[in-house]
């Protein structure tokens, strides 16, 4: 099947890559820059450290901090209105996926009319027609891959939805692991398993290609081998570097191949219970993979090997079972609860979670095993009970 493959944006990666920021800004011949960041990063001085070189070079800079994790739609509407009103000529996002997603929306919708709500994937009616302002994205978590995708995720009342368009792709991404040293263990774990989930889901996606496969397996290798160290010792330079590359590469993999069932079931958990995106993926990852195991046995054997184990003396079936167990063990090892109960989700919520997950058709369509309403309920129930169940 013919493939569309996208490797944007221009990226600077690796320890110290932030030193490219000023040169990149200079290329765009802009004057008035909006820097979008979250209040915590501003308070700890990270934002100012990042933008110091462009401030010293004399650019007019405004810092916008009305950003919260898992940003609700209203937060996007407010930022877009502000960006239009103040007529900036560049946006720079410094933060985790929540900040980067809002930055993408602000940059693009500054030049397109209407509300953010008009452009939502599930209910929107408008098409983005203009590219908008140049965007530079500087992630401070190793997780979402937002710096290389054309998606912005927003929280709605009971679920999440996305705005997606190639104009949302950044012009420049600067992925410097040094910016992730200050991440606390809990966020390192949640964002890291988010990145792992991107790679695993891209690898088993119905839209996977030889290109996304290569990216996904390398991301799985890097993340599986470094996440425990990054959580236990956040100052470990090598582990932070591997996590940074791992999440960036996983972003490229899933941007090209898509994510599937884990994300479809995770969105309602984020929407209804305000569980961080990485945690909601992590708690479901072993249960979704366990349920669909038979539809992608060979690919799960490859994942098992990429995680650093050897399937040499195992049947494909046995290796795929072990893959599910190792995914669960990894989530446990980084201290993320492995049952929905662990997030105070009660059994009576499983029905409404199912109802919302069924609507995530764009994601479900990429699952190697069709996931219908009953399947989805069964997976939620297995994640509630903490017992992996197969189709």
Mask for 193-232, x = binds ligand NAD (CB under 6 A)? -x--------------------------------------
315: exposed, middle or buried (Cβ count in 10 Å: 0-12, 13-18, 19+): exposed
Position among 11, 112, 159, 180 found at the interface with ligand NAD (CB under 6 A):
180
Residue whose CB is less far from ligand NAD, 119 or 321: 119
Q: Does 151 bind ligand NAD (CB under 6 A)?
A: yes
Mask for 38-77, x = binds ligand NAD (CB under 6 A)? x-xx----x----------------------xx-------
b/e per residue 278-305 (b: at least 16 CB within 10 A):
bbbbbbbbbbbbbbbbeebbebbbbbbb
Position among 112, 159, 191, 224 found at the interface with ligand NAD (CB under 6 A):
191
Q: Does 11 bind ligand NAD (CB under 6 A)?
A: no
Residue whose CB is less far from ligand NAD, 182 or 207: 182
Structure tokens at 303: 């994942």
Position among 42, 135, 221, 277 found at the interface with ligand NAD (CB under 6 A):
277
Report how far residue 369's alpha carbon sits from residue 96's, in angstroms, rounded to the nearest whole number. Answer: 32
What ranges in the chain are assigned the alpha helix state H? 21-27, 39-43, 46-56, 73-86, 97-109, 185-204, 210-232, 237-257, 261-273, 277-292, 297-306, 316-333, 350-358, 361-364, 373-385
Q: Does 133 bind ligand NAD (CB under 6 A)?
A: no
Position among 17, 83, 99, 205 found at the interface with ligand NAD (CB under 6 A):
99
Phi-psi region of 258 (alpha: psi -120 to 50; beta: other; left: phi over 0): left
Q: Does 271 bind ligand NAD (CB under 6 A)?
A: no
Position among 96, 132, 177, 192 found at the interface with ligand NAD (CB under 6 A):
96
- Give least dist CB 213 to ligand NAD, A: 19
Q: How far is CA 277 from CA 52, 139, 184, 228, 282, in A?
A: 30, 16, 16, 19, 9
Residue of minimal Cβ distance to ligand NAD: 96
Phi-psi region of 335 (alpha: psi -120 to 50; beta: other; left: phi over 0): left
Report how far residue 303's alpha carbon sits from residue 338's, in angstroms, rounded to the nearest whole number. Answer: 20
Position among 83, 144, 280, 378 found at the interface with ligand NAD (CB under 6 A):
144
Q: Does 141 bind ligand NAD (CB under 6 A)?
A: yes
Q: Distance from first CA to last CA of the chain, Å, rounded?
A: 29
Position among 76, 97, 134, 290 found at the interface with ligand NAD (CB under 6 A):
97
Q: Does 143 bind ligand NAD (CB under 6 A)?
A: yes
Residues 326-385 touching ligand NAD, rule: CB under 6 A, are: none
Inter-residue contact 36 to 94 (CB < 8 Å): yes
Query: Which residues are at the interface with ligand NAD (CB under 6 A)?
Result: 38, 40-41, 46, 69-70, 95-99, 101, 140-141, 143-146, 149, 151-153, 160, 179-180, 182-183, 187, 191, 194, 277-278
């Amino acid at each position: 099947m013919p493939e569309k493959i996208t490797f944007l944006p221009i990226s600077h990666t690796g320890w110290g890559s932030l030193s490219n920021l000023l040169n990149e800004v200079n290329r765009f011949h802009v004057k008035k820059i909006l820097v979008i960041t979250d209040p915590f990063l501003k308070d700890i001085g990270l934002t100012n450290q990042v933008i110091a070189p462009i401030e010293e070079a004399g650019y007019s800079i405004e810092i916008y901090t009305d950003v919260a994790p898992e940003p609700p739609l209203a937060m996007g509407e407010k930022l877009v209105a502000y960006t239009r009103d103040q007529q900036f000529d560049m946006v720079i996002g410094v933060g985790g996926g929540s900040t980067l997603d809002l930055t993408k929306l602000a940059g693009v919708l500054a030049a397109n009319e209407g509300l953010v709500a008009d452009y939502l994937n599930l209910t929107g009616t408008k098409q983005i027609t203009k590219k908008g302002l140049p965007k530079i994205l500087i992630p401070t978590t190793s997780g979402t891959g937002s710096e290389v995708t054309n998606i912005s995720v927003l929280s709605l009342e009971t679920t999440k939805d996305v705005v997606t368009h190639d104009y949302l792709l950044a012009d420049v991404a600067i992925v410097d692991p040094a910016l992730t040293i200050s991440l606390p263990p809990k966020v390192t774990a949640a964002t890291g398993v988010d990145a792992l989930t991107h790679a695993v889901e891209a690898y088993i996606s119905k839209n996977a290609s030889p290109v996304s496969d290569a990216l996904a397996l390398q991301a799985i290798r890097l993340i599986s081998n470094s996440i425990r160290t990054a959580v236990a010792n956040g100052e470990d330079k090598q582990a932070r570097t591997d996590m940074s590359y791992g999440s960036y590469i996983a972003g490229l993999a899933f941007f090209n191949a898509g994510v599937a069932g884990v994300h479809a079931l995770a969105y309602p958990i984020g929407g209804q219970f305000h569980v961080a995106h990485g945690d909601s993926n992590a708690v479901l990852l072993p249960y979704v993979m366990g349920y669909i195991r038979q539809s992608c046995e060979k690919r799960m054997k490859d994942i098992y090997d990429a995680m650093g184990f050897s399937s040499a003396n195992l049947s494909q079936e046995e290796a795929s079972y072990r893959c599910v167990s190792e995914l669960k063990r990894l989530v446990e090892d980084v201290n993320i609860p492995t049952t929905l109960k662990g997030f105070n989700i009660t059994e009576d919520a499983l029905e409404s979670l199912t109802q919302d997950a069924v609507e995530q058709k764009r994601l479900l369509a990429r699952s190697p095993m069709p996931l219908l309403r009953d399947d989805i309920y069964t997976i939620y129930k297995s994640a509630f009970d903490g017992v992996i169940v197969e189709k």
